[in-house]
Structure 1
Amino acid sequence: MTESSETGIPEPNGAGPGGAESGRWESEESEPAEYQLEFADLPALLRAWRAEAGEKLGRDKALPQKEVARRMGVSERWYRALESGAQVALTLDTLTRLADALDLGPDERTALYWYRLSEVSDERPPRSGDSRFARLREFVDAQTTFPTYLIDHAWNVIAYNDLMARWFPWVRASQANLMRWVLENPESRVWIVDWKRQASLYLAQLRFALVRTPDDPTLTDLLTTVLRDPVCRELWDAGPRIIAFRQGGCFRLSLPHVSQTELAVTAQVLLPAYRPGVRLVALMPT
């Protein structure tokens, strides 16, 4: 390993294909016009984010690797090695510089930082004797003003109140899953106004979940099933959008069994401190 004279950040020697030992780097001009993003693939994320950065700057092509390196204060060689998939130590300071250079939003930054914190697992299943979790269920049951529900990291419905069941009777089914209902059930495409846009937002959340836990069998199976639908496949391949949490997300619903007019709601998401991975969501009319 050598160090960049600009920052002292270690620069990998012999970074594999396209690295220093091969004597060449992949040409900027050879990069594909579209980036088929795969979850948990940092090089693909970086290429896609460079493309978005170029669009934000009003350019017709991706932000060049050389410019990203200059913005970070590292050598072009170091950045190219990173984007080629070399094993490079990524400190939080380095990731912050990278996020700034690519002009990433808060959700993309969260996903990027997870590469530094990926050894931390927060997807612990509830223990049957956990009294705090039982109290959380009781809290959901007690809500009478807004539809309220509890989901785990894979969008499995854990608990719901009576109003949620009235609005969305499917939650009563065994193994009810919010993501599967939204993306796979034809009913959702009628009940959710502007379904295609909302589906793309759910897929962006799924992408974030897979960045965090790419080997989670529940999530990988969920993605495999969802992408069998051609519309979902098209939305997934459309770009590198990532959403960490749907806090404050607004959408409209057409629920004839609840209201003769469309309902506009905002999703308020709460993260229980003692149950990482679980989300409590209330749908508040707007």
Structure 2
Amino acid sequence: MPSIWVNGKPVHVRGEATRRVLVHLVLASPHVIPNHRLIESTWGGSEPESAIDQIRKIISKLRQGLPGGKDLIRTEPGGYRIILGSQQTDLGAWRSAIGKSRTLLQNGDEHAALETLSAALDLWQGPALDGLEGHPFTNESVSLREERGTALEAWCRLAVKELGTPSVIVRLRRELSQNPLQERLWEILMTTLASSGRILEALDEYNNLRKILSDLLGVRPSEHLQALYRRLETRATSTTASPALPRGSAATPRPPDRARPAVPAWIRELLRGHEPNPAYVTDSRWNILSRNHAMERWFPDLLGEDANLLRWALTDTSARVVLHDWESHALVYLGMLKMALSKNPGDSVLNPILASFNESSAASSILLEDAIEVESRESHHYILNLPHITPAPVQVVSHILTPNGNRDLRVVILTPPQGESRPDW
């Protein structure tokens, strides 16, 4: 609720009707508010028969209770107005600072403009006109929120240069923790992340918003934000599909592969819907055909069109770090490899994986002998080490789905164990 301070001390205004009259006068200052507008904003169309008399009593009460109230609030033909200087209200100080920052920016003084904007944004102690509903307060609060969003966006552009992107992102995430339904803030955060090359994080933030809106309101992000997400997704896909190679190096040749099954659009949407949990699609030989952005963040070594889960788990050194107690994992993945090879003995993808594993591990023959053929890791509980995501080990359960009509595909989803809340991944 708006408050009044005189010489550093709060002035209490008692009564809901009295507060609404005072705030309406302050918002309109220095203009006159007709009596019927004051009545409407005070009672919202359910005014008592004595409404005009009660307005006169409220004005008298304000003149007596406010320091200098007799000179502040003036009676005009058919209404009242309050006379305030530009620095006597936070709203006046805010708009004055915004105007000053624009002038500084036009004059090329970005540092001073940033400091002025920072001071202006610090004036906000919560949502504008919090606790006041109905006309004109609802419209005013929306307008003020838009003003603040524009100012915050300008602050971000300047702060990226002066303070660096990390400081800007910290501020935006703090803002969103207090205003999670403000799509404008999510858009600014997404574009700020994307402009600094952190496109996958920007996409993750969209999925965070999507989940919040779905849980709280049962709606999806606006068409505008959906379009932004699609543009960023296209950029991310073009960036990760063909990762750049170090100068002078050549791509490691892969054996010829038969045509991979296509992943229908509805399955790709299913993967996105499981954010922030990692999810991906493989074919029968564990080639990774599609993945969501959480999967890309968790397992950056499994990007690229030729990514194969078994090849990574059994032959890539990064897997020995990520997979806690790697030898136990290797037994399971070898069992999956043996099962796949039993169905396709001469497979041009699976056989080289087995050969590479035999060359890379001194204990390969023992592990291979101990491995028991399994179809998948359905319902397996295991631990991952993901220091780039969180310093603590992550416990997950794998779930395997075989979509109807797409028997060559496996959808794999990683979730926290049942009964445990999702950590802040």
Q: What whole-Å deviation, never above 9, does each CA across 1:78-100 have from its counterpart, x for those lacking one?
A: xxxxxxxxxxxxxxxxxxxxxxx
Deviation at 1:232, TM superposition (A): 5.7
- The structure with the greater share of residues assigned to helix is 2
CA contact (8 A) 1:248 1:266 kept: yes
Question: Is 1:277 matched up with 2:408?
Answer: yes
Residue 126 of structure 1 is matched in structure 2 by 261
Residue 167 of structure 1 is matched in structure 2 by 298
CA contact (8 A) 2:261 2:409 kept: no
Query: Which segments of 5 or more consecutive residues in structure 1 lack a partner in the other structure?
Result: 1-122
- Give the residue type in structure 1 aligned to 2:364: R
Distance 1:152 1:235, change over 3 A: farther
Question: Is 1:222 matched up with 2:353?
Answer: yes
Question: Is 1:148 matched up with 2:279?
Answer: yes
CA contact (8 A) 2:261 2:283 kept: no
Whole-angstrom distance in 2 between the partners of 1:183 and 1:228: 11
The within-5 A match list for 1:253-264 is 253-264=384-395
* TM-score in terms of structure 2 length: 0.36
CA contact (8 A) 1:157 1:177 kept: yes
Deviation at 1:182, TM superposition (A): 1.0
Distance 1:232 1:274, change over 3 A: farther
Deviation at 1:237, TM superposition (A): 3.6
Deviation at 1:235, TM superposition (A): 4.0
Distance 1:232 1:283, change over 3 A: farther
Deviation at 1:241, TM superposition (A): 1.1
The within-5 A match list for 1:19-38 is none
Whole-angstrom distance in 2 between the partners of 1:211 and 1:284: 30
Q: What whole-Å deviation, never above 9, does each CA across 1:44-68 have from its counterpart, x for those lacking one?
A: xxxxxxxxxxxxxxxxxxxxxxxxx
SS of 1:252's partner is strand
SS of 1:150's partner is strand
Whole-angstrom distance in 1 between the partners of 2:305 and 2:343: 27
Residue 72 of structure 1 is matched in structure 2 by none
Distance 1:266 1:192, change over 3 A: same
CA contact (8 A) 2:302 2:312 kept: no
Equivalent of 1:201 in 317, 323, 332: 332
Whole-angstrom distance in 2 between the partners of 1:240 and 1:164: 27
Deviation at 1:217, TM superposition (A): 1.7
Percent identity among equivalent residues?
Answer: 29
Deviation at 1:250, TM superposition (A): 1.0
SS of 1:187's partner is helix
Deviation at 1:213, TM superposition (A): 1.5
Equivalent of 1:182 in 313, 333, 342: 313
Whole-angstrom distance in 2 between the partners of 1:212 and 1:255: 34
Q: What whole-Å deviation, never above 9, does each CA across 1:73-118 have from its counterpart, x for those lacking one?
A: xxxxxxxxxxxxxxxxxxxxxxxxxxxxxxxxxxxxxxxxxxxxxx
Deviation at 1:124, TM superposition (A): 7.8
Structure with bigger RCO (C-alpha 8 Å, 6+ apart): 1
Query: Which segments of 5 or more consecutive residues in structure 2 lack a partner in the other structure?
Result: 1-257, 418-425
Q: What is the count of residue pairs matched by the alignment?
A: 160
Whole-angstrom distance in 1 between the partners of 2:317 and 2:341: 25
- Give the residue type in structure 1 aligned to 2:352: D
SS of 2:412's partner is strand
Whole-angstrom distance in 2 between the partners of 1:161 and 1:143: 8
Distance 1:228 1:165, change over 3 A: same
Structure 1 runs of 4+ aligned residues shifted over 6 Å read none
Cα root mean square deviation, aligned: 2.0
Whole-angstrom distance in 2 between the partners of 1:232 and 1:155: 23
Distance 1:232 1:168, change over 3 A: farther
SS of 2:332's partner is helix
Question: Is 1:233 matched up with 2:378?
Answer: no
Q: What whole-Å deviation, never above 9, does each CA across 1:173-206 have from its counterpart, x for those lacking one?
A: 3411111111111111111111110011000011
* TM-score in terms of structure 1 length: 0.52
CA contact (8 A) 1:266 1:284 kept: yes
Deviation at 1:234, TM superposition (A): 2.7
- Give the residue type in structure 2 aligned to 1:272: P
Deviation at 1:258, TM superposition (A): 1.1
